Amino acid sequence: MKAAPFEYIRAESLEHVLERLSQHGMDAKAIAGGQSLVPMMAMRLARPTVLLDIYRLPELRQVNIEPDRVRMGATTRQRAIEYEIDLHKALPLVRDAVRWVGHIQTRNRGTVGGSLVHADPSAELPLAATVLNATLRLRSQADGERQIPAQEFFLGPMFTATAETECLVEIEWPVWQGAVATAFEETAMRHGDFAMASAACQLQLDEDGICRRAAFGVGGVDGTPRAFPELARQLVGQRIDESVAREIAQIALQQTEPGSDLHADADYRRHLGVVMLTRVLLKAAQSHHSAPALQH
Amino acid sequence: MSFSPVNVEIKVNGVIQPRTVEPRTTLVDFLRDHLGLTGTHVGCEHGICGACSVLLDGEPVRSCCMFAVQADGMSVTTVEGLAPQRGCLSKMQDAFCETHALQCGYCTPGMLIACHALVERTPQPTEAQIRDAIGGNLCRCTGYQQIVDAVKLATSPGYEVKSAQAKGSGVAHG
Amino acid sequence: MVDPKHPAYKAFKYIGRSRRAVEHRRFVTGQGHYAADVVQPGLLHVAIVASPYASARILSIDSSAALALPGVHAVLTGEELNSAISPMLPGVDAPKVARYPLAQGVVRYAGEWVVAVVAESRALAEDASELVCIEYEQTPHAVDPEAAMAPDAPQVHPAHGGNIIWHRKFTWGPVDEHFAAAEHQLSYRVRWARSSTVPIETFVATCSWNDATQILDVWASIQMPKYPDLLAKCLHLPGNGVRVHYDVDVGGSYGVKRGLKHTILVGFLARKLGRPVRFLEDRLENMRGGDMQGPDRIFDVSFAFDGDGTVRSMRMRAIDDIGAYAGRSPLQLGKPVGAIVGPYRIASVEYDAYSVMTNKTPQEAVRGFGQAPTNYAIETGIDRIARYLGMDPIELRRKNLIDKDSFPYLIPSGTYYDSGDYEAVMDKALAAAPYGDLLKQRETLRAQGLLAGIGVSTCLEPSGGNSAFEPLFNPKNETTTWMDSCLIRIDLNGAVTALMGTSTAGQAHETLVSTVVGEVLQREPDSIRVLHADSLNSLPSNSPVGSRMAIMLGGAAAGAAKILRDKLLTIAAHNLEVAKDALTYEDGSVYLQSNPARRMSWDALVEIAHRKYHCMPEGMEPGLQEKFCWEVPSGGKMPTEDGRVQMYPCHSFESHVVLASIDQQTGKTHLHRYVVGHDCGVMISPDVVHGMTYGGVAHGLGAALLEKFAFSEEGQLLSGTFMDYLLPSAQEVPSITIVDHCTPSPLTEFGQKGSGEAGYLGGPAAIASAINDALAPVGANIDELPMTPQAVWRALRAAGVKEAQ
């Protein structure tokens, strides 16, 4: 399983990358950690003739934590989220998600941007981005920079709104003001596998335990991760108990179109989606702390 | 379109190794075929089995999931570089021998890399942490039990390397 | 761990002790010598073009573009190859089911090799393989084995006449009578899905042909009886024209590394091209076309039993889907004949076995050679009988287990079980759990809203190997030899070297042999070097299959060492001028019992043997080198007309106790406790035995819960990568406790039995037992492996369980 031949270019700057992408179009691909791309190239499912290595560009690896947002360079490594305490505090849901991503070796090389652009419908970071409706910044030589909300970025399995000549440069994660409760659950065949179904939820409750703000979504049960902002609004003013959680989860999953594969067919996935979503809603509702505890 | 070979300088087990490689040569193939370091093994070439694990700038990665050119200027440690010096074993290597943590030996280099990296971060890991650290290294011989035992042993207080070059053992083929 | 109180171990100085394996030192430092590590100057590399279709005619092959690519040396088709070689034939009488490394005219499974491309590098060979143009015309295919048995089904090998490559119905004892007389009967079907032991190293073969010496050198990751001989035959070389280097470390095999077709291809290419050639299967080639998939069975079983739980008789029909070609795969229905009643006193058995061809990847030998699926089928029945009668499944087993005073015990199909104490092993496992705690934990888990169950299995591990299933399944194949050998030399410096004649895939044979030789010669095992001969300078071996090496290689090493020890005694007697029986041999030196001051040291004896012919007894050969080659104990007999034969000599035994819970909402199983009671007689290397048992449990867990080679209706392999074929990691395999018992074998030197298949043979049965115990209270059950979360969920949903809706 050896990749088809290609030309390798170590990017000297972001401009350099954009220029080459512009020049080569779909024959070129940017490579960051390569944890998804290299296996696909080994199986010759992906055959770029030009590989642009963006992994070491400092401008794509900056992380700025601000009171209301975190601006994260696209090649920020997944391990950064795993190990950096400041990011845990600012982005507890993303931290919850990263725990489920692959194995240590994957997270040491893999990047946040890489996972988003690869857009596996079962992947954890795309789900977190969708639920929080992060803002993704893309740049091309011809059109400069544009931004797109995560809920419009994922278009289908392994397919995003990124144009051939564009490079994802930054993810801007919103930070909710005040205490949040988060939960991320997934069920997979083995630990570290892609989820058969996953769910993520971020809530704010008042002192009486009433929901004041909510965001939730499911992964692995459709062609892209799915968030439910309208349904989330319906949770405001409610106390989230088992029956509330289950009812919302069932309505949400009715709106999905799960696929089938060897391990999980559509019916089973939809059922798992309801189970996972119910669980995260309850877990978050029952755990409202001011500072997210480091989960084991 | 030219798929020109690229000059790389990768520090492997402490020694800088300048070579010229095809871009599509993976890091594992570079180590094995260009440097003759056959201790790192190929099991799947699609990033699942972990047999190809090496330390890249001190952290475990799958060397089948990167091209050698991506590692230019970086530092790689393979299983051949884990022992403190020639003729000796690291505590982890020694503990693997003591608890019988291997059989065919094929996954063992990658397993040792993962375990070395674990104890760098977490000097006294729990069983759950050990299983998590080796969760990306598949073994078909051992059922993992004695590997877990080895890591516990290697990290137990006062563990000393027991093996001197045993009489008559060592390279037993050829 | 080793039971130090067991009297059998008291006799030994080295056997049964914890000892570091000799092999490990090179593996932990990355100094292993695997087939892919063998570098030959001028090495060329092979990539394969495989059939995309399950069944098709090959209309044309155009290699011109591939050959034109710089760096490509050859593009080989079946037409060229097959005319120059002899085919591989099945282990049963089916001469029309011939297999060649490359397809010719037709393809019979998706993944079958059609063209081999040889180039300067593997990457180039893959580039070139994409340029080969093959035109196919698809033809009807058969993927369901039951459908394939119908006379009008698409025929995989039309010349054979039907897809049933082999069938026989055995009746041992008065089955009809016992069924008629019994108070109750029950019947069920279970399915054992195709899985395999999938080593992390794929198959690799490197061949190099020397025009001057006319020797084909072979370095391969092989575990296969008669490999050099079959290779030579197929390549039309004399037997002494092939040299297989057994000192290649094999990265795991567990039965499957039978790469004869790979090696024939590579051997042919090496001769044709005059360059060394290597084929290193990549994982895609390995999964789809490496022909290493295991048994794929449908069992229909009926038991006849009485109300008090006594099991009277069993009828078992086994249909095994062997795929498009047959190697030894049909014989995997034969080995279980030697333990067809499991550990139970069942008086009669009907065994109706079908080996069926379909348009799928061919099946090959897998750890246990068919025993694990058979044990699963039998144990399912025992649990069902218990449930039917409202009896405790442990008490039901207790009632039917062969008791310890009945050995050697003759089972209806003609095998004597040599020794055992099955109840003691089961009780040890239950005590180690401890069972009382498991019962409480099961209640606690149930109170938490989970389904929870305890599973028990009690299963035979036949060991020692034998060729007996070959004549059993093919009366034209009159063969009864199944031997192994060892040569030991003591050199002029007094160092001991032993030579074994087959490959090792993690079983620590060097450690085994040096322990045994050390025991007999009373010399420090770490001072004894063990080498792997090559196939030209080795003594005969039948490979590490059938859990045979502790018995056969251990026995051969002991035999040779005993001859040497006796020779040393004879030299001493001659030089001390006393009778041999007046002497004591101790740690390599010899002294007069009545006057220990009169002694001869090891070094002195060695010197005499090597340098002082004038001090040697009359007629004795100079030097110190002795060999021993022996036949499997209790072997050497042909089967009877009604198919009874002594299958394997020695019978190890295992009892698993498992506590499992099931999440009712997801169907996911979690194993909370896993205990194995194990008896393989005297363990020569306990650490090695335990290691393989843990590994066998992991293999069993994979087969039970995760692993399946799934095929589409079109015969396409759906689980052809490690993303879909799921191997358990350290997160899926629980902590395992092993408790040992020892019933020495009367047939072996030290009382050892074999144990290379331990854990795997009883594991899936125990996990299924636990899951079905968990499902029983809600009226659900599963009789098909793997018991994936989706499969469990479907069973729960079908039973109306609320949380699964």
CA end-to-end span of chain A: 37
Q: State the residue for tokens 């998804």.
A: A36
Whether residues A92 and A146 fall in one domain: yes
Distance (Å, whole) CA B131 – CA B137:
10
- Window 79-118 of B, Cβ < 8 Å to A: 114, 117
- The percent of residues above 90 in pLDDT, for chain C, comes to 98
Mutate to test the interface with B, among A103, A106, A107 (most CBs of B within 10 A): A103
B5 close to A (CB below 8 A)? no
Q: Do A191 and C666 touch (CB under 8 A)?
A: no
pLDDT band, very low/low/confident/very high, at C2 (cuts 50, 70, 90): low
End-of-domain residue from the set A174, A196, A219:
A174
Do A159 and A216 reside in the same domain of the chain? no
Residue B165 reports pLDDT greater than 80: no
Of the pLDDT bands very low, low, confident and very high (cuts 50, 70, 90), residue A287 is: confident
What local confidence, expressed as pLDDT, does residue B171 receive? 34
Please work out, in degrees rounded to the nearest 5, the angle formed at the alpha carbon of residue C695 by the alpha carbons of C250 and C508.
45
**Quick check: A43 and C284 CB within 8 A?**
yes
Please report whether residue A296 resides in a domain: no
* Closest by CA position to A21, among listed A60, A54, A62, A58: A54
pTM for the predicted model, two decimal places: 0.97
Contacting residues of B for A105, CB less than 8 Å apart = 50, 53, 60-62, 65, 114, 136
Q: What is the chain C residue with the closest CA to B105?
A: C27
* ipTM rounded to 2 decimals: 0.97
Subunit contact B136:A35, Cβ cutoff 8 A: no
> What strands lie across the sheet with B59-62, from one edge to the other?
B15-21, B6-12, B75-77, B53-56, B59-62
A293 pLDDT above the threshold of 50: no
Shortest distance, CA B127 to any CA of chain C (angstroms): 10
- Token pair 């992991």 is at which residue? C698
Strands C589-592, C204-210: pairing is unpaired
Q: Which residue of C has its CA nearest to B48?
A: C722
CB pairs under 8 A between B and C: 214
Whole-number percent of chain A with pLDDT over 90: 95
pLDDT of amino acid C519: 98
B127, containing H or E segment? helix B127-133
**Where residue B168 falls among pLDDT bands split at 50, 70, 90?**
very low
Task: Fill in the amino acid letter for C170.
Answer: F
Same-domain pairing of A65 and A48:
no
Percent of chain C with pLDDT over 70: 99
Residue B3's pLDDT is: 81
Structural domains of chain C sorted by starting position, each given as residue range(s) with its CATH number in brackets: 35-139+203-280 (3.90.1170.50), 297-468+638-798 (3.30.365.10), 483-630 (3.30.365.10)
Give the nearest chain B residue to C35 (CA atoms): B38
Give the list of residues 6+ apart from residue C528 with CB closer than 8 angstroms, or none. Answer: B168, C496, C497, C498, C513, C514, C517, C518, C521
The closest of B99, B100, B82 to B12, measured between CA atoms, is B82
Say how far residue C429 (Cα) sits from the centre of its chain: 25
pLDDT band at A295 (very low <50, low <70, confident <90, very high): very low
- Tell me the domain boundaries of chain B: 6-81, 91-154
Is domain B6-81 annotated with CATH 3.30.1490.440?
no
Q: Are C60 and C139 in contact (CB under 8 A)?
A: no
Contact C725, C293 (CB under 8 A): no
Which of C284, C732, C790 shows the shortest C-beta gap to A191?
Answer: C732
Domain residue limits at A16: 7-53
CB–CB of B79/B94 below 8 Å? no
Q: For residue C173, is pLDDT > 60?
A: yes
Option in B22, B61, B132 nearest A105 (CB) = B61
Quick one: closest CA in C to A191, which residue?
C731
Phi and psi torsions of A60, nearest 5°:
-100, 5
Give the pLDDT band of residue C789 (cuts 50, 70, 90): very high
Structural tokens at position C614 = 């004038």
CB contact under 8 A, C729 and A263: no
| Å between A3 CA and nearest CA of chain B | 6
Q: C22 vs B136: CB contact, 8 Å cut-off?
A: no
pLDDT digits (tens, 9 = 90+) for C252-267: 999 999 999 999 999 9
Q: What digits encode the pLDDT tens for the residues A172-191? A: 999 999 999 999 999 999 99
DSSP run (H or E) holding B93: helix B91-99
pLDDT band at C217 (very low <50, low <70, confident <90, very high): very high
**Contact state of A34 with B70 under an 8 Å Cβ cutoff:** yes
Residue A63's domain is classified under what CATH number?
3.30.465.10
In C56-112, DSSP assigns E strands to 56-62, 72-77, 106-107
Does some domain include residue A295?
no
- The answer to whether the beta carbons of residues C163 and C358 sit under 8 Å apart is yes
- Per-residue pLDDT, B166: 42
pLDDT at A296: 34
For residue C122, the chain A residues in CB contact (below 8 A) are 2
3-class SS at A154? Answer: strand
Q: Taking CB atoms and an 8 Å limit, are A34 and B65 in contact across chains? A: yes
Q: What Cα–Cα distance (Å) separates residue C409 from each residue in C103, C418, C651?
A: 48, 7, 11
C557 — pLDDT class (breaks 50, 70, 90): very high
In a domain, A282, yes or no: yes
Q: What is the pLDDT of residues A9-28, one digit of tens each?
A: 999 999 999 999 999 989 99
Residue C225 has pLDDT above 70, yes or no: yes
Task: Give the tens place of pLDDT for each residue, C710-731.
Answer: 999 999 999 999 999 999 999 9
CATH code at A228? 3.30.390.50
> What pLDDT does B50 receive?
98
Which of B46, B109, B138 is the closest to C727 by Cβ? B138
- Interface probe for A, chosen from B67, B122, B129, B137 (most Cβ of A below 10 Å), is B67
Distance from C-alpha of C443 to C-alpha of C454, rounded to nearest angstrom: 11
Question: CB C308: neighbour CB atoms within 10 A?
Answer: 10
Q: Residue A52: beta bridge partners?
A: A9, A30
Residue A289 contacts B, CB cutoff 8 Å: no
Whether the predicted pLDDT of A291 surpasses 60: no
Q: In chain B, whose CA is at the least distance from the CA of A51? A: B23
Q: How many domains does chain A have?
A: 3
pLDDT at position A288 is 65
Q: Exposed e or buried b for every residue in B64-75, given b needs 16+ CB within 10 A? A: bbbbbbbbbebb
Across the range C507-533, mean pLDDT stands at: 98
- Render pLDDT for A23-52 as a digit per residue (tens, 0 to 9): 998 999 999 999 999 999 999 999 999 999
Measured between CA atoms, the residue of chain C closest to residue B168 is: C527
Cis status, amide bond into C295, omega within 30 of 0: no
Dihedral of the alpha carbons of C64, C65, C66, C70, in degrees to the nearest 10? 110
- Per-residue pLDDT reduced to its tens digit, C47-92: 999 999 999 999 999 999 999 999 999 999 999 999 999 999 999 9
Residue A2 lies in a domain: no
CB contact under 8 A, C252 and B106: yes
Q: Of B15, B14, B10, which Cα lies nearest the Cα of B27?
A: B10
Chains that touch A (3 or more CB pairs under 8 A): B, C
Inter-chain contact A108–B24, Cβ cutoff 8 Å? no
pLDDT at A294 over 50: no
* CB spacing of B117 vs A192 below 8 angstroms: no
Work out whether strand C277-280 and strand C44-50 pair parallel, antiparallel, or are unpaired: parallel
CA C184 to chain B, closest CA, distance in angstroms equals 41
| C143 vs C756: CA distance, rounded Å | 32
Least CA distance to C122: which residue of chain A?
A2
**C308 pLDDT above the threshold of 50:** yes
| CB-based contact C28 B169, cutoff 8 Å | no
Rounded to whole angstroms, the Cα distance separating C473 from C92 reads 6
The model's pLDDT over A107-136, given as tens digits with 9 standing for 90+, comes to 999 999 999 999 999 999 999 999 999 999
What pLDDT was estimated at residue C4?
Answer: 59
Query: Do C659 and C441 touch, CB atoms closer than 8 A?
Result: yes
> For residue A101, what are its two tokens?
């991503």
What average pLDDT does this structure show over C585-608? 97
The H or E element spanning position C119 is: strand C113-119
Q: How far is B97 from chain A (nearest CA, A)?
A: 24
B37, B80, B143: residue with CB nearest C695:
B143
Confidence of residue B2 (pLDDT cuts 50, 70, 90): low
Best of C666, C724, C733 to disrupt the A interface by mutation (most A CBs within 10 Å)?
C666
Locus of tokens 């899905």: C193
Please indicate, yes or no, if residue A219 is contained in any of the structural domains: yes
Mean pLDDT of chain A: 95
The CA-based angle A10-A126-A131, given to 5 degrees, is 145
Q: Which among A124, A146, A174 is the end of a domain?
A: A174
Tell me: do A113 and A151 sit in the same domain: yes
Structure tokens at C164: 């049933």
CB burial of C666-679 (b: ≥16 within 10 Å; e: otherwise) equals bbbbebbbbbbbbb
A190 Cα to chain B: minimum distance (Å): 10
Task: Tell me: do A17 and A76 sit in the same domain.
Answer: no
CB contact under 8 A, A7 and B64: no
Contact (CB<8Å) A262/C710: yes
Chain C residues contacting A via beta carbons under 8 Å: 121-123, 126-127, 130, 282-284, 665-666, 668, 706, 710, 718-719, 721, 723-724, 726, 728-729, 731-732, 788-790, 793-794, 804
CB contact under 8 A, A104 and B66: no
**Residue in C19, C29, C735, C760 to test binding to B, most B beta-carbons within 10 Å:** C29
Q: Does A55 touch chain B (CB under 8 A)?
A: yes
Q: Which CATH superfamily is domain B91-154 in?
A: [2Fe-2S]-binding domain (1.10.150.120)
Q: Is the pLDDT of residue B170 over 80?
A: no
Range of lowest pLDDT (A106-115, A287-296, C547-556): A287-296
Residues A83 and A155 in one domain: yes
